Amino acid sequence: MIIVRSPLRVSFFGGGTDYEKWFLKNKGAFLSTAIDKYVFSLVKHTINLSDFRYRISWKIVEEVSNYNQIQQPIVRETIKYLKFDRPAEFFYLADVPALSGLGSSASYAVATIKAISSIQKKKLSKSEVAKISYEIEKQKLNENTGIQDAIAASYGGLNFVEISKNGKYKVNKCLVNSEQKENFFNRIVLVFTGIQRSSSDQAALTLKEMDKKEKHFRDLYCMAFEGRNLLLSNELDKFGNLLDESWKIKSSLNKKMSNTKIDNLYEFSKSQGALGMKILGAGGGGFAAIFLKKGFKKKFLEKIKNHKFMEIKIDEVGAKLINFT
């Protein structure tokens, strides 16, 4: 059995400029981190003695004889893309609910690509895995997705990424020391809004408004550079304040980006020591990243205890093979 774990991600700045519709005309940039919460892809090569060739366990259990019959989209398209012709069982496991703004779809694609290619004894680089993941979601499944999720899941780390107009990108590790990393992540709490939504559907609303909101996207692009500089210079209060400015822009990108529940969480968080908050992913629900004033975390966690929340750390390595038998 092959087990691959792939990290989820938190995006701080530049989200939206990683959509092809934007960066192929204007370039893109984002600052994000892979986190210590994971999606797991388990793939077991089997002897074909059953009436089915493929068994897939996710929100349902499928048993089919032909890969074209597979309902799980990532498994189906990865099998086709990598020309995987063996009978097998596939299992999906995750630390957090799907549809929650942490890039779980790309994380599962990255993990499944790495698992199948390991069985095939193909050595794929991090960039190749990210490329295949993005192509499967964007081109094969026609999802409205940006490129940042696949990069974070494959590479891991706290990264500033610049995207050129030809689609090529450069991953720049944010080289902060251990103490700086601890101080930074100790300021962050992820709070679940309780709302699960399709990121592709939500992103479609943003893409529809992109031409009208060009100035907003240019501001978000510039904030990625500013946020990177504030992080590297350890100006964390200013980083939190910039995150607040970023959310004010992002929340205006489409009419469903925010809602009463999100607005109430924002006001509550600000009253309890938050410098800034933003909804992760395409917006509309999922997790909110709360960036706190120094020393306010304990108080905040006491006040937020009736919500589902997570503390996070950095994942440094990206998608990782953790079992091969």
Looking up residue 74, the CATH number of its domain turns out to be: 3.30.230.10
Domain boundary among 136, 151, 175: 175
Looking at residue 157, what is its pLDDT?
97
Q: What is the token pair recorded at 257?
A: 């980006």
CATH number of domain containing 213: 3.30.70.890
Question: Is beta strand 88-94 parallel, antiparallel or unpaired with respect to 54-57?
Answer: parallel
Using the predicted structure, report yes or no on whether residue 45 has a pLDDT greater than 90: no
Torsion region of 13: left, alpha or beta (phi above 0 gives left; psi -120 to 50 gives alpha): beta
Percent of the chain with pLDDT strictly greater than 70 = 99
The reply to whether 159 and 189 lie within a common domain is no
SS3 274: strand
Q: Please report which confidence band the pLDDT of residue 99 belongs to, taking 50, 70 and 90 as the band edges.
A: confident
| Mean pLDDT, range 19-37, rounded to an integer | 98
Are 165 and 184 contained in the same domain? no
Clarify whether residues 196 and 259 are in a common domain. yes
- How many structural domains comprise the chain? 2
Buried b (16+ CB within 10 A) or exposed e, 5-27: bbbbbbbbbbbbbbbbebbeeee
Average pLDDT, the chain: 95
pLDDT over 90 percentage in the chain = 89
Tokens of 197: 């939504």
Higher pLDDT, 133 or 283: 133
Task: Place 69 in a pLDDT band, splitting at 50, 70 and 90.
Answer: very high
Does one domain contain both 161 and 206?
Answer: no
Containing domain of residue 232, as a range? 178-311
322 lies in some domain? no
Give yes or no: residues 206 and 248 share one domain. Answer: yes
Interatomic CA distance for residues 172 and 161, integer angstroms: 6
Q: CB of 200 within 8 A of CB of 144?
A: yes
198 pLDDT band, cuts 50/70/90, is confident
Question: Which residue spans within the chain are E strands per DSSP?
Answer: 2-13, 28-45, 54-57, 61-64, 88-94, 158-163, 169-173, 188-192, 274-279, 287-292, 309-311, 320-324
Q: Which residue has the tokens 């706290």?
A: 158
Instruction: Assess whether pLDDT exceeds 80 at residue 47.
Output: no
Among 311, 96, 95, 57, CA closest to 196 = 96
Task: Grade residue 46 by pLDDT with cuts at 50, 70 and 90.
Answer: confident
Please answer whether residues 90 and 55 qualify as being in contact, where contact means their C-beta atoms are separated by less than 8 angstroms: yes
| pLDDT the model gives residue 49 | 58
The verdict on 154 and 200 lying in the same domain is no
319 domain residue, yes or no: no
> Which tens digits make up the pLDDT trace of 237-271?
999 999 999 999 999 999 999 999 999 999 999 99
How far is Cα 7 from Cα 5, in angstroms, rounded to an integer? 7
Distance CA 63, CA 89 (A): 9
pLDDT at 48 over 80: no
Output b/e per residue, 82-102; b: 16+ Cβ within 10 A: bebeebbbbbbebbbebbbbb
Among 140, 156, 175, identify where a domain stops: 175
The answer to whether residue 112 is domain-embedded is yes
